[in-house]
């Protein structure tokens, strides 16, 4: 229930922002990107989103031919999810078999895309010429959809489709009056964005003690667009907080990490393991795994640790609990948003110790491991996503206190000059500027 309410509020906010953004979209030379796929899209509007453009290797191949061959007779019914709608009810109402829904949920286990279902979400149900249900399409945002397509053997495959997107930016400005939190909310920042700022500037600044009424801040906020529509995804490109004694800055660079004006990383660090001590790996990250239970090829988007039931599970970084749920196959699970670029996911839990929306710290106990959902035995399935795409948690480059690489320093310096000038001189909110440029890394 809360989740629905929260979304309605966010949507209203997002719509308001979109309206503003739309006015000036024409200013924006787009850096289009064409990729497909990726796991679940962000469950909240503050989520970060893929901009690394790496195509995932794992997408099962949909039988494209059948799509074209019997296409003429296909019939598609569009459905807009209403409050209280459950997938099973939607399927029954359209005479789509519940066994197919089970197969779709199974195909969704490694993505949990359907867990983002909320009022207003559009679903398309496709039937063939003999009225047999063949595909479900989930529209995640104006740029992203997921199609679950029936295969010969009755199983379904998950295919993510992503349209070209680009970013437009705006400047938000505020003056400290009361707490930073209250002042930043007034300036138009969201709770998740404020938390990120707190993490980015928290090294050299005590938000409770050091700020005075009248201190000022500027933020360059990016909005992801596709065509003329906002996708609802946002990101902080730069923040500058000016006190009487000194200025605190953080800039998002092409690698998705944040640095101060000296090029030193201010991205909060992560733990490699979600447990106090390392456990045996019972199944590795593998984009083309033969599933132990279904016998089908499907990606394994995380790593499995052989944790006995009841093992304390730790958040590997500071963040906000984005989702908590219970999936028929993934079991009890938690998604944590670590300020945009990074997210982590924990599956098959026995007991969840945090609620949706709360703030957690690196190393904080968030759950006890278990064996819930479809599982071959007690274990923790742990995922680490960078820009919305799962990577191997054991080998991924997790943020460390590194500096901008030498080779990128000139480019960083150029961006820094531009953004400092934008934050200092550009008008606020109504003036949109583009700050998009080709990525240096990847
Ligand atoms: Zn697993």
Between the CA of 301 and the centroid of ligand 1 the distance, in Å, is: 7
Mean pLDDT over each residue of the chain, to the nearest integer: 81
- Asked if 286 and 379 sit in the same domain, the reply is yes
Q: Determine the pLDDT at residue 401.
A: 55
Lowest mean pLDDT among 120-124, 318-322, 398-402: 398-402
Which is nearest to 390 in space by CA: 307, 291, 304, 299? 299
Between the CA of 284 and the centroid of ligand 1 the distance, in Å, is: 8
Kindly tell me if the per-residue pLDDT of 37 is higher than 50: no
Between the CA of 211 and the centroid of ligand 1 the distance, in Å, is: 45
* pLDDT tens digit sequence for 237-290: 999 999 988 899 999 998 888 999 988 888 888 899 999 999 999 999 998 877
Distance CA 398, CA 401 (A): 10
- Asked if 263 and 407 sit in the same domain, the reply is yes
Q: Determine the pLDDT at residue 15.
A: 44
Between the CA of 195 and the centroid of ligand 1 the distance, in Å, is: 30
Between the CA of 281 and the centroid of ligand 1 the distance, in Å, is: 10
Question: Residue 134: which domain range?
Answer: 63-158
- Reported as a pLDDT band with limits 50, 70 and 90, residue 341 is confident
- Asked if 295 and 386 sit in the same domain, the reply is yes
Domains held by the chain: number: 3
Between the CA of 65 and the centroid of ligand 1 the distance, in Å, is: 32
pTM: 0.74
The DSSP bridge partners found for residue 224 are: 167
- Reported as a pLDDT band with limits 50, 70 and 90, residue 8 is very low
Between the CA of 178 and the centroid of ligand 1 the distance, in Å, is: 46
* pLDDT tens digit sequence for 166-213: 999 999 999 999 999 999 999 999 888 898 898 899 878 888 889 999
**Those residues with Cβ within 8 angstroms of residue 428's Cβ, 6 or more apart along the chain or in another chain:** 170, 171, 172, 173
- pLDDT: which is higher, 248 or 20: 248
Kindly tell me if the per-residue pLDDT of 24 is higher than 80: no
Between the CA of 348 and the centroid of ligand 1 the distance, in Å, is: 9
Between the CA of 291 and the centroid of ligand 1 the distance, in Å, is: 10
- Asked if 311 and 386 sit in the same domain, the reply is yes
Between the CA of 203 and the centroid of ligand 1 the distance, in Å, is: 35
Question: Over pLDDT 90: what percentage of the chain?
Answer: 56
Q: Determine the pLDDT at residue 100.
A: 97
48-73 average pLDDT score: 43
Establish if 39 belongs to a structural domain: no
* pLDDT tens digit sequence for 127-141: 999 999 999 999 999
Between the CA of 304 and the centroid of ligand 1 the distance, in Å, is: 5
Distance CA 436, CA 29 (A): 9
Between the CA of 385 and the centroid of ligand 1 the distance, in Å, is: 14
- Asked if 258 and 196 sit in the same domain, the reply is yes
* pLDDT tens digit sequence for 328-337: 999 999 999 9
Between the CA of 110 and the centroid of ligand 1 the distance, in Å, is: 8
Q: Determine the pLDDT at residue 289.
A: 79
Dig out the tokens for 59 from the structure. Answer: 């997408």
DSSP string, 277-320: S---EEE--EEEEE-TTT-SEEEE-SEEE-PPTT-EEE-SSSEE
Q: Determine the pLDDT at residue 27.
A: 37
Domain boundary pick from 138, 158, 178: 158
Domain boundary pick from 139, 158, 177: 158
């Amino acid at each position: 229930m809360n989740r629905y309410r929260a979304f309605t509020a966010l949507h209203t906010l997002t719509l308001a922002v979109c309206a503003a953004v739309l006015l000036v979209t024409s200013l924006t030379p787009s850096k289009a990107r064409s990729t497909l796929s990726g796991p679940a899209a962000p469950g909240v509007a503050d989520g970060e989103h893929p901009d690394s453009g790496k195509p995932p290797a794992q997408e099962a191949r949909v039988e494209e031919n059948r799509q074209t061959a019997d296409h003429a007779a296909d019939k598609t019914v569009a459905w807009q999810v209403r409050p209280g709608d459950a997938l099973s009810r939607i399927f029954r109402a359209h005479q789509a078999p519940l066994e197919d829904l089970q197969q779709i949920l199974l195909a969704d286990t490694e993505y949990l895309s359907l867990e983002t279902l909320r009022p207003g979400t559009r679903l398309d149900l496709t039937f063939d010429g003999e009225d047999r249900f063949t595909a479900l399409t989930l529209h995640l945002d104006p740029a992203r959809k997921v199609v679950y397509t029936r295969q010969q053997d009755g199983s379904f495959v998950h295919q993510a489709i992503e349209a070209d997107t680009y970013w437009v930016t705006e400047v938000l400005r505020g003056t400290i009056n009361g707490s930073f939190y209250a002042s930043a909310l007034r300036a138009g920042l969201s709770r998740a964005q404020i938390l990120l700022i707190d993490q980015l500037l928290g090294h050299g600044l005590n938000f409770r003690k050091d700020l005075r009424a009248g201190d000022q801040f500027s933020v360059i906020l990016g909005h992801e667009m596709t065509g003329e529509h906002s996708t609802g995804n946002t990101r902080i490109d730069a923040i500058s907080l000016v006190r009487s004694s000194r200025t605190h800055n953080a800039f998002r660079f092409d690698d998705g990490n944040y640095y101060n004006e000296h090029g030193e990383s201010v991205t909060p660090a992560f733990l490699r393991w979600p447990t106090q001590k390392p456990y045996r790996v019972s199944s590795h990250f593998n984009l083309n795994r033969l599933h132990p239970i279904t016998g089908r090829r499907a990606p394994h988007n995380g790593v499995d640790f052989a944790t006995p039931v009841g093992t304390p599970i730790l958040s590997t970084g500071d963040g906000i609990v984005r989702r908590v749920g219970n999936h028929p196959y993934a079991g009890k699970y938690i998604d944590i948003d670590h300020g945009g670029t990074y997210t982590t996911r924990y599956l098959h839990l026995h007991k969840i110790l945090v609620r949706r929306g709360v703030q957690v710290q690196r190393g904080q106990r968030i759950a006890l491991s278990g064996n819930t959902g479809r599982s071959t035995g007690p274990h923790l399935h742990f995922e680490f996503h960078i820009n919305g795409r799962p990577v191997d948690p054991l080998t991924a480059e997790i943020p460390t206190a590194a500096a901008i690489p030498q080779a990128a320093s000139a480019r960083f310096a150029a961006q820094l000059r531009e953004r400092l000038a934008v934050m200092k001189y550009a008008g606020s909110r109504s003036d949109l500027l583009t700050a998009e440029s080709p990525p240096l890394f990847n």
